[in-house]
Chains A and B, each alone.
Chain A
């Protein structure tokens, strides 16, 4: 791949993580039991959509083929989305969503931190902006995990089950593929091995404070980065792309 193609593919992947997680969170809008949490969730979702816009626009520029952010978001088939399986997992109950956010955001924060120091100015600039948002998101989600884990017997049992259930989607975050390696070697990009060690420390700290038990490393699911998604993804995409698929090029 040419240099520009590497950055375009990598920016697309980062955009996919942000867009798909943001779309999942938007499904919860108007469904939260407390007004304040409702506002927080909607704001965080929009933060992620905003990040996706920046990554997609940049991917389009690097690609040089005239695709804009909407083309990336709405005009691609399922296998072209390269987001992590974790971010496409259904919202489930509040504890499920909370665990998903904590596991992803702990990783994403470390990834963005590394990207701030990479040699591609475009990625570094977007990462520097996004990291401020994600630092707060993680503060919010990890406090909730601690509150639920160290809460009642029921909340503790339910959120432990969420953790055990979602743990299998954390493995692929740390397994570099060719694209990860290209970005690391050519642009001093993130070292996923180093991120894994830091992630484990941070997540173990949160889990410990939440009086929860760190799950065993079971067999890990993977495939998101290659475009092989879980069964839930098609439904998410169908809803998200409905308007552009039904009325191509619609504007308002």
Chain B
């Protein structure tokens, strides 16, 4: 018997107010509402989140691994773009 797979959705979870949504994983679902339910049941069982985004994986435009060099290498030797010359106070969290 052939089995038609449900489409894949990527799941993003905001762990608490003020933080940004982070990629948590993916779920299969037949429609958007089901994807939201499945994300909730799969990734927030242990009180991980206050907000969930789901998006069809095939709607995400991703960079091509073959172009990694062209995309990212030029930034590597420009250390002056990194704010590494500052001391971060201990009180600053979530940076």
Q: Digitize A25-54: 1 where CB-to-B-CB distance is under 8 Å, 0 elsewhere.
A: 000000000111101100100000000000
Q: Digitize B11-25: 1 where CB-to-A-CB distance is under 8 Å, 0 elsewhere.
A: 000000000000000
Q: Does B51 contact A (CB under 8 A)?
A: no
Pick the residue among B6, B27, B33, B40 that contacts A143 (CB under 8 A).
B33
Q: Does A139 contact B (CB under 8 A)?
A: yes
Q: Give chain B residues whose Cβ lies under 8 Å from the Cβ of A24.
A: none
Q: Tell me the bound Cα distance from A43 to B33 in angstroms.
A: 18
Q: Tell me the bound Cα distance from A143 to B37 in angstroms.
A: 10
| Chain B residue at minimum C-beta to C-beta distance from A143 | B33
Q: Does A140 contact B (CB under 8 A)?
A: yes
| Chain B residue at minimum C-beta to C-beta distance from A146 | B33
Q: Tell me the bound Cα distance from A43 to B40 in angstroms.
A: 11
Quick one: given A40-B38, A40-B41, A43-B45, are A35 and B28 in contact (CB under 8 Å)? yes
Main secondary structure of the interface of A (DSSP, over half): helix
Q: Give chain A residues whose Cβ lies under 8 Å from the Cβ of B38.
A: 36-37, 40
On whether the beta carbons of A34 and B37 are closer than 8 Å, the reply is no
On whether the beta carbons of A36 and B42 are closer than 8 Å, the reply is yes
Q: Which of A156-187 contact B (CB under 8 A)?
A: none
Q: Give chain A residues whose Cβ lies under 8 Å from the Cβ of B28.
A: 34-36
Q: Give chain A residues whose Cβ lies under 8 Å from the Cβ of B45.
A: 39, 43
Q: Tell me the bound Cα distance from A147 to B30 in angstroms.
A: 10
Q: Tell me the bound Cα distance from A127 to B25 in angstroms.
A: 33
Counted as pairs of residues, one from A and one from B, with CB atoms less than 8 Å apart, the total is 28
Q: Give chain B residues whose Cβ lies under 8 Å from the Cβ of A143.
A: 33-34, 37
Q: Does B55 contact A (CB under 8 A)?
A: no
Pick the residue among B27, B30, B37 that contacts A140 (CB under 8 A).
B37
Closest-CB distance, A143 to chain B (whole angstroms): 6
On whether the beta carbons of B33 and A36 are closer than 8 Å, the reply is no
On whether the beta carbons of B29 and A36 are closer than 8 Å, the reply is yes
Q: Does B48 contact A (CB under 8 A)?
A: no
Q: Give chain B residues whose Cβ lies under 8 Å from the Cβ of A136.
A: 40
Q: Tell me the bound Cα distance from A40 to B42 in angstroms.
A: 7
On whether the beta carbons of A34 and B6 are closer than 8 Å, the reply is yes
Q: Give chain B residues whose Cβ lies under 8 Å from the Cβ of A37.
A: 38
Closest-CB distance, B15 to chain A (whole angstroms): 19
Q: Give chain A residues whose Cβ lies under 8 Å from the Cβ of B33.
A: 143
Q: Digitize A124-146: 1 where CB-to-B-CB distance is under 8 Å, 0 elsewhere.
A: 00000000000010011001000
| Chain B residue at minimum C-beta to C-beta distance from A151 | B30
Q: Give chain B residues whose Cβ lies under 8 Å from the Cβ of A39.
A: 41-42, 45
- Give chain A's interface residues, CB within 8 Å of chain B: 34-37, 39-40, 43, 136, 139-140, 143, 147
Given contacts A43-B45, A139-B37, 16 further A-B contacts (CB under 8 A): A34-B6, A34-B28, A36-B28, A36-B29, A36-B41, A37-B38, A39-B41, A39-B42, A40-B37, A40-B38, A136-B40, A143-B33, A143-B37, A147-B30, A147-B31, A147-B34
Q: 10 closest Cβ contacts across the A-B interface?
A: A36-B38, A40-B41, A36-B27, A39-B41, A140-B37, A39-B42, A143-B33, A36-B42, A43-B41, A36-B28
Task: Sample 7 A-B pairs with CB under 8 A, ordered by A number.
Answer: A36-B27, A37-B38, A39-B45, A43-B45, A140-B37, A147-B31, A147-B34
